[in-house]
Amino acid sequence: MYYCPDCKHKLKELAIGYECSNCDIVYPLEDGFCVFDDYERVSFFDYGLGELEQDIENEELVIKLHRYFVPHLGEIKGKSILSVGCGSGGDIEQLNCLGVEAYGMDFLCRTKNWNKKSYSKQRFFVSSVDRIPFPVEYFDIIICTGVIEHVSEELVAKGAYAELNRNRELFLKEIFDMLKPGGIIIITSPNRNFPLDFQHNAYGWLNFLSKFSIYVHSPFAPFLESYYSLTSYFRRIGEAKVEPMPLVNFLGLNIFKLSPHLSFLKRSFDAYIQILDNMPNIVRTSFLNPYIVLRVTKLH
């Protein structure tokens, strides 16, 4: 059941979309999925994925759900979960099979992949975070993986860093407001302070390494976020407990599947992650950590 993003009244399902009788508006369907906002506030500068990449992404989402999220989230049956920027969405289907009220939201371009996988039309929708079709404090868990670095990404090239930070803080506030008291957000991003990025060919140095899917960047590059910057956002947004989560079983890193030149490094990288997870938090949140995985608990 969806609610009007403006007035929060329950929407009536029609053959052509969802209607709000209070606002006298119909939210249309695109490829069978409801569109609440088609304005793509998250940049496409470095976000496009080919069919092979989407299939690998989908496989990793399902694996990561069972190996990482289910063990770390505890009892999830009967809970409501939203994945912001759900991507290929295989984990959403799996969650609903586990008795979860799970929803995925992303861009219009994702609907083609959702249709290819024959996903439930009622569990996926197109929207931006300020047009989420649910009341505030609706969800027990919100997952936002690999999205924050793309929010207002076009402002990086313009050097509009103050506006970039405001937009990202607003983005996080919108999803924080959708969370029930006691609920959690899991948010992830490559670590700005770690000099290598295995996912984004944006604003990098040493471009000859790109054929290996390795991108070198400055620790001051504002495209990515750090543990400190994300924690600072949530301190200003509301009362929350922010803590790093383990990386073991989270980092699948498509790089080792998409770049055969680097497959020999996978065992060494896995061993490094195992060691890092056993270090004190001051190390796990430092430049030694390639990826930030945070658990944010809404206290009130």
Under 8 Å between Cβ of 188 and 294? yes
Distance (Å, whole) CA 34 – CA 46: 25
Profile the chain (300 residues) by mean pLDDT over runs of 10 residues.
93 94 94 84 51 74 90 94 91 92 89 81 91 96 93 86 94 96 95 81 53 66 89 95 93 60 74 92 93 94
Distance (Å, whole) CA 83 – CA 11: 21
User: In this structure, what token pair is assigned to residue 223?
Assistant: 């495209």
Sorted by where each starts, the structural domains of the chain and their CATH numbers stand as 1-30 (no CATH), 38-298 (3.40.50.150)
Side by side, the strands of the sheet bearing 124-126 are 12-13, 17-20, 25-30, 33-35, 124-126, 101-106, 80-84, 139-145, 179-190, 291-298, 240-244
**Burial grade of 125 (CB within 10 A; 0-12, 13-18, 19 or more):** buried
> pLDDT value at position 235?
94
> pLDDT value at position 252?
63
> pLDDT value at position 57?
76
Distance (Å, whole) CA 5 – CA 134: 7
> pLDDT value at position 209?
55
Query: What does the DSSP 8-state code read for residue 11?
Result: P
Query: What does the DSSP 8-state code read for residue 106?
Result: E
DSSP 3-state assignment of 41?
coil
- In what helix (H) or strand (E) does residue 281 lie, and over which residues does it extend? helix 281-284
Q: Is the dihedral of CA 28, 32, 33, 37 positive or negative?
A: negative
Phi, psi of 281 (to 5 degrees): -60, -30
List all residues 6 or more positions away from 52 whose beta carbon is below 8 Å from its beta carbon.
Answer: 258
Distance (Å, whole) CA 169 – CA 230: 9
Phi-psi region of 32 (alpha: psi -120 to 50; beta: other; left: phi over 0): left
Taking residue 198's Cβ as centre, other Cβ atoms within 10 Å add up to 21
- Which residue's entry shows tokens 């020999």? 264
Phi, psi of 27 (to 5 degrees): -90, 120
Q: How many CA atoms lie within 13 A of 114 on its CB side?
A: 29
- Which residue's entry shows tokens 């009220």? 101
Distance (Å, whole) CA 211 – CA 86: 27
> pLDDT value at position 166?
95
